[in-house]
A and B are shown apart, each in its own frame.
Chain A
């Protein structure tokens, strides 16, 4: 149990589907993040939420839509994805946006777009 829970662990979706990834943390953290991890590439920061407000959108295509209803929950809504979007999507949280104590990561959602 890492303290950050992501569901589902695996997801296969067609390019015309709409699906959502969920992230939940009960660590009392105020900042939450979405990262994309592709093979042999650095983790790519997608979105940052600090105190429920989106503070960064790292040039992510609009087919990815984040939602942060409260400090404990973060969603990533997916629609009309492309095969190159297949990757491991990691959620992380930290006390605040200042990462002095590092991030706590979830186990990720392995997404395959067919």
Chain B
């Protein structure tokens, strides 16, 4: 199946710092999505990307669909304590989504 490699696995940052994480795939994807999962909850969709090169923002979050259609990144600017959680990339090759293993973000006040 299509493998998604998400990095880094975990990040420990100070409040106010910017964060960057990315996802790469061995296959071309038609859609890239970024989810956040809070402890004890299911993943919640943050940003969806549908076209190669597309750059989309949602508040302090910015994500891009790579030109090769095999990668995507997510940036969080000026992190705050409530940004803590696990961030997942997900890609849709044709049907059904494939997920990365997640980036666990810890924000120190």
Contact = CB atoms under 8 A, between A and B. Distances in A.
Majority secondary structure, A binding face:
loop
Contact of B99 (A6, A42, A48, A100): A42
B40 interface: yes
B48 to A, nearest CB: 5
Contacts of B33: 99, 102
Nearest to A97: B95
Contact of A42 (B40, B48, B98): B98
Given A2-B42, A40-B101, A108-B42, A99 B88 contact: no
A21 to B, nearest CB: 13
A37 B33 CA distance: 18
A41 B95 CA distance: 21
Interface in A1-40: 2, 4, 6, 33, 40
A45 B96 contact: yes
Interface residues of B, number: 24
B100 A42 contact: yes
Contact of B96 (A42, A48, A104): A48
Interface string B67-108: 000000000000000000000101010011111111000000
Contacts of B35: 102, 105
B25 to A, nearest CB: 12
A43 interface: yes
Interface in A78-114: 90, 92, 97-108, 110
Nearest to A108: B42
B101 A41 contact: yes
Nearest to B95: A97
A102 B98 contact: no
Interface in B8-46: 9, 31, 33, 35, 40-45
B43 A97 contact: no
Interface of A: 2, 4, 6, 33, 40-43, 45, 48, 56, 90, 92, 97-108, 110
6 contacts: A42-B99, A42-B100, A45-B96, A99-B97, A100-B31, A108-B40
